[in-house]
A = this chain, B = another copy of it.
Amino acid sequence: MAERERAIVLVSGGLDSAVVLALARARGLACHALSFDYGQRHRAEVRAAGRVATSLGAASHRVVRIDLRAIGGSALTADIAVPRARRAGAGGIGSRAKRARGASAIPVTYVPARNMVFLSLAAGLAEVVGAGSVWIGVNAVDYSGYPDCRPAFIRAMQRAIGAGTKAGVEGGGGGIRIETPLIRMSKAAIIRAGSAAGVDFGLTHSCYDPSPRGLACGRCESCAIRSRGFEEAGVADPTRYVSRRG
């Protein structure tokens, strides 16, 4: 039997990246999962990443530590309060209506240049293991308005990886492709695709501000987007909340 083609999959422990891993596995790829411990408040995410990688049959799982707190600037890594989401339809932080208003849409939970750092490290790992692609669960529909989730950013990073890596420069196999299967999907569509591909969403963690026991707060923006996605998908939400948002 021929060796399977290898891929790097960025697995955060959240819902989206679990669906990405399931989709990459469904293509028959040998998936090397990569997670980051970057001093985030919600480290329950890193534990969830390990559960997700195992349950979906990743070939390996690495956790790279980066001390992003030395840089700061985000509610997810510094001492800035995580805001509560406003109600859907009332211009909540993650809503399309709010983003359409323009410049002020990037929230305090934005971690400066996070996906740029993560994609760079994934490209490095792709070189080391001989992977032809890097998979990332960015989404430019039901998302938080972070600039590093948009197609223009992904295209620019694809060029940087082509120009800045040994695989890109030496060619022979076409270098390293960035795969973003979720980028144009709604959260509900992502949840339906994940359900069909066998993702156990109960293993995933999305909350920015979980309880010490790892329960979701039900109040932050990430909880709000996730909860609305399950409603719209018509899929039962297995998330364990401390309290419901309201």
Contact = CB atoms under 8 A, between A and B. Distances in A.
Contacts of A111: 124
* A interface: dominant SS: helix
Interface in A67-83: 67-68, 70-73
A64 B62 contact: no
Contacts of A73: 124-125, 127-128
Contact of A159 (B110, B156, B162): B156
Task: State the copy count for this chain.
Answer: 2
Interface residues of A, number: 47
6 contacts: A62-B70, A64-B70, A113-B121, A115-B164, A155-B163, A157-B164
A106 B169 contact: yes
A155 B64 CA distance: 27
A116 B156 contact: no
Nearest to A104: B170
Contacts of A163: 147, 150, 152-153, 155-156
Interface in A106-121: 106, 110-117, 120-121
B169 A121 contact: no
Contact of A65 (B66, B127, B150, B168): B66
A235 interface: no
A9 interface: no
A116 B164 contact: yes
Contact of A128 (B112, B147, B162, B169): B112
B71 A124 contact: yes
A159 B161 contact: no
A244 interface: no
